[in-house]
Amino acid sequence: MKLNYKVIHTEKQTKARLGKIIFTDKDGTTQTYETPMFMPVGTQATVKTLSPEQVKATHPGIILANTYHLWLRPTPEVIKEAGGLHEFMNWHGPILTDSGGYQVFSLAKNKKKDITEEGVHFKSEIDGRPLFLTPEKSIQIQNMLDSDIAMSFDECPPATADYAYLKNSIERTLRWAERGKKVHNNPQQNLFGIVQGGPYEDLRKFSAIKTVEMDFDGYAIGGVANDDESKDDMYKAVEFSTPYLPNDKVRYLMGVGEPVDLLESVIRGVDIFDCVSPTRLARHGNALVTGVRSTSQGPKENRLNLKNARFKHDFTPIGTTCDCYTCQNYTRAYLHHLMRCGEAFGATLLSIHNIRFLIHFCEQMREAIREDRLLEFRDEFLKN
Amino acid sequence: MKLNYKVIHTEKQTKARLGKIIFTDKDGTTQTYETPMFMPVGTQATVKTLSPEQVKATHPGIILANTYHLWLRPTPEVIKEAGGLHEFMNWHGPILTDSGGYQVFSLAKNKKKDITEEGVHFKSEIDGRPLFLTPEKSIQIQNMLDSDIAMSFDECPPATADYAYLKNSIERTLRWAERGKKVHNNPQQNLFGIVQGGPYEDLRKFSAIKTVEMDFDGYAIGGVANDDESKDDMYKAVEFSTPYLPNDKVRYLMGVGEPVDLLESVIRGVDIFDCVSPTRLARHGNALVTGVRSTSQGPKENRLNLKNARFKHDFTPIGTTCDCYTCQNYTRAYLHHLMRCGEAFGATLLSIHNIRFLIHFCEQMREAIREDRLLEFRDEFLKN
């Protein structure tokens, strides 16, 4: 499905955009989704522990799948034979596939890998066999998966990378983007470019301008770390990139899922996000909430761990104002019981809640942008 | 909900009964379910890996929950506080709870336990603390859980028990049934008695007659082993029990879930069944099927292990004529992928299929009874 992005309204006080992504299918039918948007992640062609219907009930727009994982299993050949990823996984909304780059650089971080101009040599996590991923290969795999949005294969530098390393890296990423674009061969699939450059203003500017010159269907901001210590760098990376991205193309901050980071990035002009955190937190018994403080009134707590004994007799829902299936039908006491027993349905229920929480948070941001009160929304959010 | 059972039709060639179970709620509303019926098991107040909606889509009647597990976690007090098991687990159809006896006798089989006339002393599987389960305690727990059907606490003798042991055991089970009935104190809950006696005709007869004299709301046949070597004993146990059970009460064969055993037991006059096998098989990647032979035309295969490499490129559903959600929407190749990756949704999809398979099998038996062709149905089934 070909993608168009339109800004409906730019917030008066910030760079935040209320927008819509319109997908047009071969037969002319369209699907429209508003931004800011949070995209749930279905790494291995399944949003962990959820049926497509359960995912759909959280009102998502696009969902993600991971090229690296699907390349190894079940292989792009199997998915192509199945009629593409949508058919294979029974998901008929839009799908974005990443390039596999992040996994090659991060999952294999303690293993020997060899980064050359041509691509990256590394070993399969599953069976140890040698693998070689190149910009061309990444795009060819994504073409076969037949996702709606493919990502360019970029180098994801380590968090410790210095200015000199990053400078070389963004130049290589530009050459890789060019190579990927050249072999891209799926007219129904949109291709996004990725801006790198760490927290450096000149590198981000250079990377953004050069990437935009290549004319992609959308632009991502990559290379932001997701730990508490790097939040300033994350916001800088966004702030230094968005001024050079075209107004009529969607902007995607990759791998970010904390509400405060969504908010700060939307303020700086980002439209869409993805993160594995809602489902990962769920599997460990954590529910996303707002406005909860510990009894000591210490630092704000934005998660509840349902395994905690204090929930054993708590017959309230996770969130009293939450409209998700979990909060409409189940108590904290039941979730506590399921998580204590290791029952899979506990992870399912918490995943539904956490995904819906982030999607609802985006809906709230959209309202605030529409009404030009995003800074007030931030004040309110930080106070709770 | 109070239970009534009515035979609609007794098959001409066998003792098989097409029946209906009518539950009447306090407010006079009724729920009616036909027998033969297979009941999915929700051991810890959840049918493993499934939402109540997913369970419901398999068209079950009654579901089970386990007293032993719920006694330990979350405790009957928590469930009572929640408003009973239906509210706690968001299941608004009928629920049957077992007595906990089977778990005490089987789960703790390699651990020290002390069976006295008063009850059974044993140690908690979770934290090792000493526990004491008596017939009164079992019923009191089930009263608190507020299931629709409670089971009497019976002694479940080991498979190796001889005639003398079983004779003593059925007498004790009768005394325990009496004690349980005396303390039963939940007017909306039905109480079933359990017939024991191994494969011995006189013991089954004695146990059945004496249990029926106590006048329960329904009768179970217990103490049948579920392994391939004991099938004759299972069928004997049924055959020697049903003649002494009243026609207007439902008959329940506990813990049996193989299609051939359902069929042979229905032929001998059993109405309802439960078993963990459909969900357990699912978690190991197995799907129930009929009519599959290995290429060598060797012994009949009634399961497919979806982990098997031969399914990698198999884009057909598990069952081409199956009407379950899984078969309607997913291929064997997708299930193979999910099971190979250890994705929870694979177990969910296979659980849905396997439960639906057994429920559909019961629907087929009901049709065959209605049309007086159950033996022909058996011939057809055994041929495939």
B249 and B229 Cβ atoms separated by less than 8 Å: no
The reply to whether B56 and B153 lie within a common domain is yes
Residues of A in contact with B88 (CB under 8 A): 331, 333-334, 337
What sign for the dihedral angle of Cα A320, A322, A328, A333? negative
The reply to whether B58 and B200 lie within a common domain is yes
The reply to whether B263 and B326 lie within a common domain is no
The reply to whether A73 and A103 lie within a common domain is yes
DSSP structure class, residue A211: H
Among A82, A89, A345, the residue with its CB nearest the CB of B46 is: A345
The reply to whether B323 and B267 lie within a common domain is no
- Contact between B341 and A44 using a beta-carbon 8 Å cutoff: yes
Residue B109 confidence class, pLDDT cut points 50, 70, 90: low
Q: What is the mean pLDDT of chain A?
A: 95
A342 and A43 Cβ atoms separated by less than 8 Å: no
Among B51, B89, B343, the residue with its CB nearest the CB of A44 is: B343
Nearest to A97 by CA among A86, A87, A108, A105: A86
Residue B299 confidence class, pLDDT cut points 50, 70, 90: low
Among B49, B313, B347, the residue with its CB nearest the CB of A81 is: B313
What does pTM read for this prediction?
A: 0.97
Does A298 score more than 60 pLDDT? no
Q: Which of A274, A294, A322 is the last residue of a domain?
A: A274
pLDDT at B138: 98
* Structure tokens belonging to residue B90: 């968001």
CATH code for position B68: 3.20.20.105
Among B90, B333, B338, the residue with its CB nearest the CB of A46 is: B338
| Host H or E run for residue A349 | helix A344-370
Residue A310 confidence class, pLDDT cut points 50, 70, 90: very high
- Taking residues B327-353, report their average pLDDT: 98
- Contact between A46 and B343 using a beta-carbon 8 Å cutoff: yes
Among B73, B329, B331, the residue with its CB nearest the CB of A82 is: B331
The reply to whether A101 and A211 lie within a common domain is yes
Neighbouring C-alpha atoms within 13 Å toward the C-beta of A252:
29
Work out the minimum CA distance from A262 to partner chain B, whole angstroms. 28
pLDDT digits (tens, 9 = 90+) for A174-196: 999 999 999 999 999 999 999 99
Q: Any chain B CB within 8 A of the CB of A329?
A: yes
Q: Any chain B CB within 8 A of the CB of A333?
A: yes
CA B144 to chain centre: 21
Does A291 score more than 90 pLDDT? no
Residues of B in contact with A91 (CB under 8 A): none
In one-letter notation, the amino acid at residue B112 is K
DSSP structure class, residue A227: S
Does B60 score more than 60 pLDDT? yes
Which residue of chain B comes nearest to A70, CA vs CA?
A: B337
Which residue of chain B comes nearest to A53, CA vs CA?
A: B54
Work out the minimum CA distance from A346 to partner chain B, whole angstroms. 9
Task: Count Cβ atoms below 10 Å from residue B77 Cβ, excluding itself.
Answer: 12
Residue B160 confidence class, pLDDT cut points 50, 70, 90: confident
Does A293 score more than 70 pLDDT? no
Q: Which of A274, A295, A325 is the last residue of a domain?
A: A274
In one-letter notation, the amino acid at residue A293 is R
Residue A160 confidence class, pLDDT cut points 50, 70, 90: confident
Work out the minimum CA distance from B121 to partner chain A, whole angstroms. 23
Q: Could you tell me how many CB contacts below 8 A there are between chain A and chain B?
A: 100
Does A62 score more than 60 pLDDT? yes
Nearest to B239 by CA among B227, B223, B221: B221
Does B295 score more than 60 pLDDT? no
**Does a structural domain hold residue A376?**
no
B270 and B250 Cβ atoms separated by less than 8 Å: no
Q: Any chain B CB within 8 A of the CB of A57?
A: no
pLDDT at B158: 85
pLDDT over 70, % of chain A: 96
The reply to whether B270 and B299 lie within a common domain is no
Structural domain span for residue B295: 282-363
Q: Any chain A CB within 8 A of the CB of B260?
A: no
Does A108 score more than 60 pLDDT? no
Among B54, B313, B344, the residue with its CB nearest the CB of A48 is: B344
Residue where the block lists tokens 């949704």: B345
The rounded distance, in Å, linking the Cα atoms of A172 and A169 is 5
Which residue of chain A comes nearest to B45, CA vs CA?
A: A338
pLDDT at B110: 60
Residue B384 confidence class, pLDDT cut points 50, 70, 90: confident
Task: Count Cβ atoms below 10 Å from residue B118 Cβ, excluding itself.
Answer: 13
Does A125 score more than 60 pLDDT? yes
Of A78-92, B55-69, B223-237, minimum mean pLDDT range: B223-237
Between A371 and A295, the more confident residue is: A371
B223-261 burial, b for 16+ CB within 10 Å, e for fewer? Answer: bbbeeeeebebbbbbbbbbbebbeeebbbbbbbbbbbeb
Q: Any chain A CB within 8 A of the CB of B49?
A: yes
* Structure tokens belonging to residue A198: 């760490």
pLDDT at A201: 97
- Contact between B312 and A347 using a beta-carbon 8 Å cutoff: no
Which residue of chain A comes nearest to B283, CA vs CA?
A: A344
Among A51, A82, A337, the residue with its CB nearest the CB of B348 is: A51
* Structure tokens belonging to residue A296: 């000591």
- Taking residues B51-67, report their average pLDDT: 98
- Taking residues B247-268, report their average pLDDT: 97
Number of domains in chain B: 2
- Contact between A89 and B54 using a beta-carbon 8 Å cutoff: no
For chain A, the first-to-last Cα distance in angstroms comes to: 40
- Contact between A73 and B337 using a beta-carbon 8 Å cutoff: yes
Residue B336 confidence class, pLDDT cut points 50, 70, 90: very high
Q: Identify the three-state secondary structure at position A250.
A: strand
Residue B192, CA distances (Å) to A243, B67, B149, B152, B154 in order: 73, 14, 7, 6, 11
Nearest to A275 by CA among A383, A189, A351, A377: A351
Q: Any chain B CB within 8 A of the CB of A344?
A: yes
> Which residues touch B177 (CB under 8 Å, ≥6 apart)?
B135, B152, B153, B154, B193, B194, B211, B214, B216
Residue numbers of A annotated as active site: 98, 274
pLDDT at A229: 76
Residue B323 confidence class, pLDDT cut points 50, 70, 90: very high
- Contact between B89 and A44 using a beta-carbon 8 Å cutoff: no
- Taking residues A355-373, report their average pLDDT: 98
The reply to whether B240 and B136 lie within a common domain is yes
Residues of B in contact with A315 (CB under 8 A): 81-82
pLDDT over 70, % of chain B: 96
Residues of B in contact with A343 (CB under 8 A): 44, 46, 48
pLDDT at A297: 53
Nearest to A107 by CA among A147, A60, A67: A67
Residue A228 confidence class, pLDDT cut points 50, 70, 90: confident
A324-337 burial, b for 16+ CB within 10 Å, e for fewer? Answer: bbbbeebbbbbbbb
Residue A113 confidence class, pLDDT cut points 50, 70, 90: confident
Residues of A in contact with B44 (CB under 8 A): 337-338, 341, 343
* Structure tokens belonging to residue B365: 């038996």
Does B293 score more than 60 pLDDT? no
The reply to whether B227 and B317 lie within a common domain is no
Residue A300 confidence class, pLDDT cut points 50, 70, 90: low
**Does a structural domain hold residue B375?**
no
Which residue of chain A comes nearest to B345, CA vs CA?
A: A49
The reply to whether A242 and A304 lie within a common domain is no
- Contact between A345 and B48 using a beta-carbon 8 Å cutoff: yes
3-state SS, B2-62, equals EEEEEEEEECCCCCCEEEEEEEECCCCCEEEEEECEEECECCCCCCCCCCHHHHHCCCCCC
Which residue of chain B comes nearest to A88, CA vs CA?
A: B334
Which residue of chain A comes nearest to B70, CA vs CA?
A: A337
Complex ipTM value:
0.97
pLDDT at A158: 85
A120 and A128 Cβ atoms separated by less than 8 Å: no
pLDDT digits (tens, 9 = 90+) for B61-84: 999 999 999 999 999 999 999 999
pLDDT at B273: 98
Does B238 score more than 70 pLDDT? yes
- Contact between A343 and B44 using a beta-carbon 8 Å cutoff: yes
pLDDT at B333: 98
Q: What is the mean pLDDT of chain B?
A: 95
The rounded distance, in Å, linking the Cα atoms of A159 and A276 is 19
- Taking residues B333-340, report their average pLDDT: 98
Task: Count Cβ atoms below 10 Å from residue A360 Cβ, excluding itself.
Answer: 19
Which residue of chain A comes nearest to B344, CA vs CA?
A: A49
Work out the minimum CA distance from B223 to partner chain A, whole angstroms. 28
**Does a structural domain hold residue A336?**
yes
Residues of B in contact with A341 (CB under 8 A): 44, 69, 73
**Does a structural domain hold residue A374?**
no
A11 and A243 Cβ atoms separated by less than 8 Å: no
**Does a structural domain hold residue B342?**
yes
The reply to whether A253 and A314 lie within a common domain is no
The reply to whether B313 and B276 lie within a common domain is no
Q: Which of A274, A299, A323 is the last residue of a domain?
A: A274
pLDDT at B261: 96
- Contact between A333 and B78 using a beta-carbon 8 Å cutoff: yes
pLDDT at A71: 98
Does A110 score more than 90 pLDDT? no
**Does a structural domain hold residue A378?**
no
Among B46, B78, B90, the residue with its CB nearest the CB of A329 is: B90
Q: Any chain A CB within 8 A of the CB of B46?
A: yes
Between A111 and A158, the more confident residue is: A158
Q: Any chain A CB within 8 A of the CB of B344?
A: yes
pLDDT over 90, % of chain B: 88
**Does a structural domain hold residue B372?**
no
Work out the minimum CA distance from A52 to partner chain B, whole angstroms. 10
**Does a structural domain hold residue A382?**
no
Question: How many Å is the Cα radius of gyration of chain B?
Answer: 21
Contacts 24+ apart (CB under 8 A), A364-369: A365/A16, A365/A36, A365/A262, A365/A263, A365/A266, A366/A18, A366/A34, A366/A35, A366/A36, A368/A11, A369/A9, A369/A11, A369/A16, A369/A17, A369/A18, A369/A36, A369/A266
